[in-house]
Chains A and B, each alone.
Chain A
Amino acid sequence: QKEVEQNSGPLSVPEGAIASLNCTYSDRGSQSFFWYRQYSGKSPELIMFIYSNGDKEDGRFTAQLNKASQYVSLLIRDSQPSDSATYLCAVRNTGKLIFGQGTTLQVKP
């Protein structure tokens, strides 16, 4: 069974802090890794993807991938109250995405 695991949270951070979200996956054949943001009652919105080991930065977001440890993370710098949402880690193996349960992030003003 191919699994993607996330801590469901909630993760609570003060405004302006760095939020760190983590994800592990079981299938070593996984090819690409994605972070989606999902507001309550809405659809997943793609934030970032990564497929090579190391860091990838896009604005306030940094994705980190360690294939040896089967670990993906997302850092959100200067967290804002509007970042409060559920963050979904997704892993692609073949064509489909396998999602984790999501981590709920609360950014407190």
Chain B
Amino acid sequence: EPEVTQTPSHQVTQMGQEVILRCVPISNHLYFYWYRQILGQKVEFLVSFYNNEISEKSEIFDDQFSVERPDGSNFTLKIRSTKLEDSAMYFCASGTGQGPNEQYFGPGTRLTVT
């Protein structure tokens, strides 16, 4: 069964450093998403991406964040200058965009900013 994959599974970085989180969505899906979950809190929407552009973003997704689909399979989230409060699990999800538009989540990347 096809699934969303993410790398790395755990990333430790120092405050102020740039990080890139990588995702490979399910191959026939057209919509891609990033969510994050701070420990003990809700899953929060960050951004959605369709047809090589951002279709929606949340207030969390400020100028420090960017997304890119550099090739036909990868979808990346870049955080330019990490802050302590960026420490969270980051989940990539993908969906067909059809019907109820159910979204399937990857295993996540645990980002720890020290």
B2 on the interface (CB 8 Å rule)?
no
Please report whether the interface of chain A is mostly helix, strand, loop or mixed according to DSSP: strand
Whether the pair A46, B104 counts as a contact (CB closer than 8 A) is yes
B-side interface size class? 20 to 34
A60 on the interface (CB 8 Å rule)?
no
Whether the pair B100, A51 counts as a contact (CB closer than 8 A) is yes
A-side interface size class? 20 to 34
Interface centre among B35, B91, B101 (most CB of A within 10 A): B101
Enumerate chain B interface residues (CB-CB to A < 8 A). 31, 33, 35, 41-45, 48, 50, 55-56, 58, 89, 91, 97, 99-108
Enumerate chain A interface residues (CB-CB to B < 8 A). 31-32, 34, 36, 42-46, 49-51, 88, 90, 92, 94-102
